[in-house]
């Protein structure tokens, strides 16, 4: 399996990202221990010179990290015909015990990488490196997670055997099975429908408050993360049923297939992009009083808030269209 082009690309990307973040992590330790902008020492000047190079390196590495999440799912989906019983990425990821843990860690690093890029963008708008400690502290959290992900991904792809029998998505997300996927599939639509619309309404209301009064940025960030979780659970519980036009098919990965118009990619892209933008609004909240960001920060938070609201509405518009046009009625 390692000779598969997608697997090779994933291993290459993870190796490069790990190397770049490992180097940047050492620089981050120096920043946290020795950074003093009031000092004119040689150490401080050297740190200031290197921080531009390292920040550029990290920004590029994290963009690759975010894209690798989609490549990982795409590759797992493309490998499903190598296993007995697999119909999509759900079966490929279940081929050994490292597939789903890798996916979950990749999701976490994707969100944190997006927040780091938001902090970095805001930091470059101030003349006195106003967020340099915050973004390097976050980098120190990201480095071990990315290294863990690289290890899990290697164990996953190295352990793939073509003769392994795995489970299909109908079994993994079927009711009556003891698993997280089956539990999400078993969530009753009569509960998930009001939950989805309630969280969406709360997110939009909080977004309006942030845009009009610049208040409630932290609750808005929490709601953006809640919308990601509730919308993903709703996809498995009842939205996917309309898209498949089948009352028993709950798989979140078959949405990536051609017969469903690859609708999963814009849906998951909107959810992740909205969550990153919303979390970025909350991550910038503690720095609203920084004088060097007094002009730039409100504009950045406003753009991020608009992006979160627009992506949530885009997700709702797409799934709403499928639900209206679907022949299935629940």
The Cα 71–Cα 20 span in angstroms is 19
**Cβ atoms 210, 301 nearer than 8 A:** yes
> 21: closest CA among 52, 47, 54?
54
Alpha helices in 159-263 (DSSP H): 169-172, 180-185, 189-213, 217-234, 240-244
Contact between 114 and 276 under an 8 Å Cβ cutoff? The reply is: yes
Q: Please report the DSSP string for 38-73 in residue order.
A: T---HHHHHHHHHHHHHHHHHHHHHHHHHHHHHHHH
Q: What is the pLDDT of residues 78-104, one digit of tens each?
A: 988 888 888 889 989 998 999 999 999
Q: Please give the structure tokens belonging to residue 103.
A: 């996916």
d(CA 239, CA 319): 7
Residue 84, SS3? strand
85: left (phi over 0), alpha (psi -120 to 50) or beta: left
- How many CB atoms sit inside 10 A of residue 207's CB? 22
Q: Count CB-CB contacts under 10 A for residue 325.
A: 10
Cβ neighbours of residue 251 closer than 8 Å, sequence gap 6 or more: 87, 88, 90, 169, 170, 172, 173, 236, 240
**Residue pLDDT tens, the chain, 330 long:** 777 889 999 999 999 999 999 999 998 999 999 988 888 888 889 898 889 889 999 999 999 999 999 999 999 999 888 888 888 899 899 989 999 999 999 999 999 999 999 999 999 999 888 999 999 999 999 999 999 999 999 999 999 887 778 878 877 887 667 777 888 888 888 999 999 999 999 999 999 999 998 899 999 999 999 999 999 999 999 999 999 998 888 999 999 999 999 999 999 999 999 999 999 999 999 998 888 998 999 999 999 999 999 999 999 999 999 999 998 877
Residue with tokens 């608009």: 306
3-state SS class at 165? strand
Tokens standing for 272?
Answer: 């992740």
pTM of the model: 0.93
Pairwise CA distance, residues 280 & 273, whole Å: 10
Task: Evaluate whether 170 touches 249 at the Cβ level (below 8 Å).
Answer: yes
Q: What are phi and psi of 92, to 5 degrees?
A: -60, -45
Q: What is the pLDDT of residue 175?
A: 67
With b meaning 16 or more CB within 10 Å and e meaning fewer, what string describes 218-229? Answer: ebbbbbbbbbbe
- Distance CA(34)–CA(127), nearest Å, equals 19
Q: Which of 104, 67, 73 has the alpha carbon at shortest distance from 229? A: 104
Cβ atoms of 149 and 106 closer than 8 Å? yes
């Amino acid at each position: 399996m390692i000779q598969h082009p997608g697997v090779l690309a994933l291993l290459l990307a993870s190796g490069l990202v790990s190397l770049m973040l490992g180097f940047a992590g050492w620089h981050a330790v120096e920043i946290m221990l020795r950074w003093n902008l009031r000092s004119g020492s040689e150490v401080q000047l050297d740190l200031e010179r290197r921080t531009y190079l390292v920040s550029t390196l990290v920004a590029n590495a994290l963009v690759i990290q975010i894209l690798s999440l989609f490549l990982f799912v795409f590759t797992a989906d493309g490998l499903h015909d190598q296993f007995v019983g697999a119909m999509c990425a759900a079966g490929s990821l279940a081929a050994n015990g490292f597939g789903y843990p890798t996916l979950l860690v990749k999701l976490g690093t994707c969100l944190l990488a997006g927040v780091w890029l938001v902090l970095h963008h805001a930091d470059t708008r101030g003349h006195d490196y106003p967020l340099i400690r915050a973004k390097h502290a976050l980098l120190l959290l990201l480095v071990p997670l990315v290294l863990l992900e690289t290890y899990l991904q290697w164990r996953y792809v190295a352990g793939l055997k073509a003769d392994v029998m795995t489970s299909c998505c109908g079994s993994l997300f079927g009711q009556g099975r003891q698993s997280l996927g089956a539990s999400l599939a078993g969530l009753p639509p009569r509960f998930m429908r009001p939950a989805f619309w309630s969280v969406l309404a709360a997110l939009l209301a909080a977004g309006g408050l942030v845009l009009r009064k610049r208040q409630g940025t932290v609750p808005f960030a929490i709601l953006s993360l809640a919308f990601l979780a509730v919308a993903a659970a709703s996809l498995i519980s009842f939205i996917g049923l309309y898209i498949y036009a089948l009352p028993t098919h709950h798989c979140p990965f078959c949405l990536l297939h051609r017969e469903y118009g690859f609708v999963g990619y814009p849906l998951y892209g909107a959810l992740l992009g909205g969550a990153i933008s919303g979390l970025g609004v909350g991550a910038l909240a503690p720095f609203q009083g920084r004088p060097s960001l007094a002009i730039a920060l409100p504009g950045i938070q406003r753009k991020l808030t608009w992006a979160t609201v627009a992506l949530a509405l885009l997700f709702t518009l797409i799934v709403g269209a499928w639900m209206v046009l679907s022949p299935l009625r629940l």
